[in-house]
Structures are given as C-alpha cells and as structure tokens.
A and B are shown apart, each in its own frame.
Chain A
Amino acid sequence: MDRHLNLNISRLLTWGTLLSLLFITLSVVELFITGTHITTYEELNILQLLKGLVSFNPTDTLYFALLVIIFTPIANLFYVFLYFIFSKNFISAVCALTTLLILASALILGLAV
C-alpha cells in the first residue's frame, strides 16, 4: 500500500482523536470557570450546539468533542475515496464511495447499524 495513504490516514485519525481530547479538556475547564453543570439534551440541534460552543458552554463543548470522534472515520473514508480517485484506482474508489453511500442511507433510514 502507498506509504503516503497510510501516513495521511494515520494523521487524520490522530488529529481527530487529539481534537476530541482537546475539546473534552476544554469542556472541563469551562465547567470550572463558568461554575455551571453539564446537562443531557433530549434532542440535539446542531446549530444550537455550535452557538453554545462559541459561547463557551461546557455541555455544548463536550457534545462537540463527541461529534468530532464520530465524524473522524467518515472524513477518513472520504479522504480515501478522493485518494483512490486521484490515483486512478477506480475499483477501490467505488468500494469507498459505496460504503459512504450505504452509511448515508443508514442515517436517512434511521438505522443504528
């Protein structure tokens, strides 16, 4: 396998992991500074979450950290798809795209696969 691909996948996954850890730590710091407590949302509104993130709400920061974790492998898969397209390995590109579409369809159907 191309050393470049492995290296970039590893970097993407490491950055995703470190970024999520950074936001988890940030939420703990915000918790101490603001003196509030972390609540659990009944339903999640992404826009509300982003607003809370910029206004240093520890709950929203922690939720954002978890979102970063979840989106890291999806971003990684998208990168792999682009890599195979540009390196003209169309069979692997089709496999990556199909997996992306299946995961998207699972989301639309509301299935926790």
Chain B
Amino acid sequence: MLIATGLGVGFLSAMLGIGGGSLIIPVMVLVFGYSIHTAIATSLIVIVSTSNSAASVNTLKNLVNIRLALFLEMITATGAVCGGLISTNLPEKQLTLAFSIFLIIVAILYFKGVTHKDIVNAQASDSKGVFEEKYFDGSLNKNITYRAKNIIPTTIISGFAGIISGSMGIGGGIFKVPAMNAISKIPMKISTATSNFMIGLTASAGALIYFKSGYVEPVVSGMMVIGVILGSNIAARFFNKLQDSTIKNIFLIFIIFVAIQMFMKAVN
C-alpha cells in the first residue's frame, strides 16, 4: 500500500512540478493513521526523492533551467526561512482560509489567462528576457528557444511561495509553476521541471531537521521512496511527449483539490 501510494504521488509530483506534501500528508494521517510529525517527515523525504529522480531525467533532456532555478531558489529559500520564523505568530485558521480562497482565484485566472499559443507568441514577438535557454519539445517535435520575461514579479511570487512553504509546510510549486508559466512566459514543461528541481533543494534542509529530531519512520519512508522513484521516473520519461495544455489542465485540477482541502481544514 505504501509503495503504491508512493508510486502515485511520485508520478503526479514529477509531472506537475510540485512537492506532493498536500497529497502525502492527508493520506498518511487519515488513511494510515500516522502522527502529523511522521507524515511531514516522510513527506519531506519523499519530496527530495521525487525531485532527485525526476530531475535526473529532466536535466538530461535540458528541461531544467539551472540558472533560473538557482536565482529563484535563492529568493524562495529566504522566504521559507522567514516563513518558518514567523509561522508561530500567524493565526493558522484565517491563514488557511485566505490561502484556499487565494488558490481558487489563482486557478480561475490561470485557467482563463494563458494558453500555450500565448506563450509561443510572447516568446516569438518579444526578444527581451533573461536566462535564455533552448530545449527539444517532444510533443511538437522541434527545438524551442525561450527567455524568462517579467522576472521581478515572478521573483516576488517565488519569495511569497517560500513564506507559505515555510509557514504551512507545503512545497510552493503550486505558486511557482503558474508564476513562471503565466508571468514569465516560460513553457509549461520547463516551469514544472525547474520547479521540481528547486523543490528538492528546499525540502532537503527540512528533511534533515526532522531526521535529526527522530520523527522519521524508516520503514514507511523507505517503502514510499521505492514507490516514488518508480512513479517519478515513469512520469519524467513520457513527460516531454505530453502537450503543455494537458499538463496545465492536470495542474489546475490539483490546485482546486488543494484549495478545497485547505478550505475544509480552515472550516473544521
């Protein structure tokens, strides 16, 4: 059961560029009956494992923009430290409610706002931008060159994602991926692969702390890791063949799922 859960989580996380904490923690607590600390510790190890496994394939296919990832990670990690420091002073119920409403707004704007055609047009018509890279798109069967536009708003959102991540224990990919895709006009595949690479770095520090504190259940984590490595490898291998719009639609369903989950948590 644990290996199968890991497989599903690894598959979805690798495809969407998310950590997967919002999937693992409820399953571990509600289905398997583990304590929240064990669930978080396992979730962090699983996130690192997903990231390692998916990024090993994605970097080889040039789908990860390393320089952009390093730049944004610097800001996200700073935000995460700040989030961790202020989390004890924040009213959890109101914050969770605000977060769920904000996510629904993000989902609506994102769904209506940007299409793959917009991204292609923006990249073709405007030569401005930073962190230029190119990659081979398997679904379009051609090389695509792209630059990150409007990097300042994306950086601010990444910092905000870090604060949310540090204070609420989620990966932050749910904010970073739409920001990179919709604001910086980076193709969806690059956004998710870059986010996935970044999440592994952020989660490793958290995982070490939980590891040291003795919250890690080695058997649970080990079994989940086996499943996750398999799942994320499968996802990463056929990820480049998927249409950007398909990844985006799955991502939207995930945002709505997390928003409902957060809303229920705040209301109850």
Interface residues of B (CB under 8 A from A): 40, 44-45, 48-49, 51-53, 55-57, 59-60, 62, 64-67, 70-71, 73-74, 77-78, 80-81, 83-85, 133, 162, 165-166, 169, 200-202, 204-214, 216-219, 221-222, 225-226, 229
Contacts and interface: CB of A to CB of B under 8 A. Distances in A.
Given A5-B66, A20-B225, A70 B71 contact: no
Given A9-B55, A95-B70, A38 B218 contact: yes
B56 A10 contact: yes
Interface of A: 1, 5-7, 9-11, 13-14, 16-17, 20-21, 24, 27, 38, 40-44, 59, 62-63, 65-67, 69-74, 77, 80, 92, 95-96, 98-99, 102-103, 105-107, 109-113
Contacts of A16: 52
A67 B218 CA distance: 11
A17 B133 contact: no
B222 A66 contact: yes
B52 A95 contact: no
Nearest to A14: B56
Contact of A111 (B44, B51, B66, B85): B85
Q: What secondary structure prevails in chain A residues at the interface with B? A: helix
A31 to B, nearest CB: 10
Contacts of A112: 40, 44, 84, 169, 205-207, 209-210
A99 B74 contact: yes
A42 B221 contact: no
A113 B65 contact: no
Nearest to B79: A113
Contacts of B214: 40-44
